[in-house]
Amino acid sequence: MANLVIYTDVGSCDPDDLLALMMLKHVNANILGIIATHHYPRKKAQLIKLLLNEIGLESVPVYVGSGLEYNETYDETRRTIFDNDNELWPSSFGYPIGVMKPDETPWFSNFMKAYESAYDSKEFESLHIEKESGYDMMVKLLSNSKDKVTVVCMAPPHDLAQLPVELYNNMNIWIMGGGFENYSCILNMCDSIDNPKLGYNWGICPGTIEQLLNNANESNTKINLISSGFIRRKNLNISVDKFNEWLSLKENKKLSKFMNAFIDDWIYCSEANTLNSHTNICDPVVLFAALNSNLFSSVPVNCNINGTIMFEDYLMESQSKVTNILRMKLMENTHTNVNLIVGVNSGVNNIIVDMINKTIIEP
């Protein structure tokens, strides 16, 4: 049974982090902790705890990781930190409260709206969030663990990159990240794999990714990477029909209070984000793969960040003739820092959706 820790930016303007956490009710793992990270991590920790209480996992500890805490007052120092941590952040996404300038738009203005409408402030205040930070917990855990810890990162990996390099060998790391690599390069066993565009988790913070990859190199650790391109190529998603089935249950008052709020939140996400239709199951796939790696195949690649390329934001990469801010080279396994997932057994999509469905309809 795997010892499992999860990093998540749950509550952002897509629903797949929560979909992944719903799967925890049906996995065979020793869940040591869940760390909320990225924007408003304490509020996100509360959302995680709401879900865990809903699905009978009240004893799983939830920690606050790094990231910008919610604050309604603008602060220039916090803005500088935000810009440095997320150097290719697209202004079109808007900015979190507390770092948003007067001429800028807010990031996901409906964040937590569905849950704060369903639960009162006393219910949120009663939720138990660990006092120890996510960073301190991980350092202590990895320093004392006799067995490797399976670490699933479903968020921009700032927290993971901050961990001491000497602890990397104690982790089996699975990450949702990378980009939209050219699959024909993999099929034809080219020396280099083109990456014309990165996904959100890696695209907004190339400096953090460079540190993460350097840590992997120095510790001789291989990161298991599921890319946005892989999810799209394999068409791993939840069908619109399945979502409409859940929506119908909500409308007929057959879902729990939390699941009603979740469906409302999903609708808010779809309204706020125009980049995709929110049916891809990126984060559920990376969690499932971490616990069922025998159902996936990979190729060994060496990754590094091309620091000579600079964009205003990561979404501009596809508009530039100069691409590949993330370089990938197919190499011998002994010289690589990443196992790039390229294949998956048929039926995995249905297994994942079934796990999520069971949690939603019978929490």
List the domains of the chain with CATH numbers.
2-361 (3.90.245.10)
The pLDDT value given to residue 275:
46
> Span 251-275, mean pLDDT?
87
Q: Is the pLDDT of residue 311 over 80?
A: no
For residue 331, what are the contacts with CB-CB under 8 A and spacing of at least 6? Answer: 300, 301, 302
* Banded model confidence at residue 314, pLDDT cuts 50, 70, 90: confident
Q: Decide: 177 and 157 in contact? Cβ < 8 Å.
A: yes
Confidence grade of residue 189 (pLDDT, cut at 50, 70, 90)? confident
Mean pLDDT of 141-164: 97
Biggest CA-to-CA distance, the chain: 58
pLDDT single digits (tens) 110-124:
999 999 999 999 999
pTM, two decimal places? 0.95
Tens-place pLDDT, residues 289-305: 999 999 999 999 999 98
Task: Name the residue among 170, 159, 87, 154 with its Cα closest to residue 289.
Answer: 154
- Integer Cα distance of 314 and 318 in angstroms: 9
Q: What is the mean pLDDT of residues 212-239?
A: 95
Pairwise CA distance, residues 43 & 129, whole Å: 10
